[in-house]
Amino acid sequence: MVNLYDRNLNYKGCMSCFACKVKGGRKGVCLFKDDLQSIMEKAYELGKKLVTDSMIETF
């Protein structure tokens, strides 16, 4: 678990630049690099694993 308030992370909220939605770009990936990028990548990978594991359990 990551507690964003206990760590000295350098991050800001969404800048609404829509770079994450540009055709040909990496959809859903922020263009601005900050300390949250590695945390978001880990959360994404964990989400994929949870979905995959739940699909396996249903069969």
> What predicted TM-score, i.e. pTM, was given to this entire model?
0.57
Residue 57's pLDDT band, with cuts at 50, 70 and 90, is low
Q: What's the chain's Rg over C-alpha atoms?
A: 15
How far is residue 18's CA from residue 6's CA, in Å, rounded to a whole number?
29
Residues 4-51: tens digit of each pLDDT: 776 688 888 888 988 888 877 677 788 888 888 888 888 888 888 877
Q: Which residue has the tokens 């979905």?
A: 51
**Which pLDDT score, from 0 to 100, does residue 50 have?**
78
Per the structure block, which two tokens stand in for 41?
Answer: 């990548």
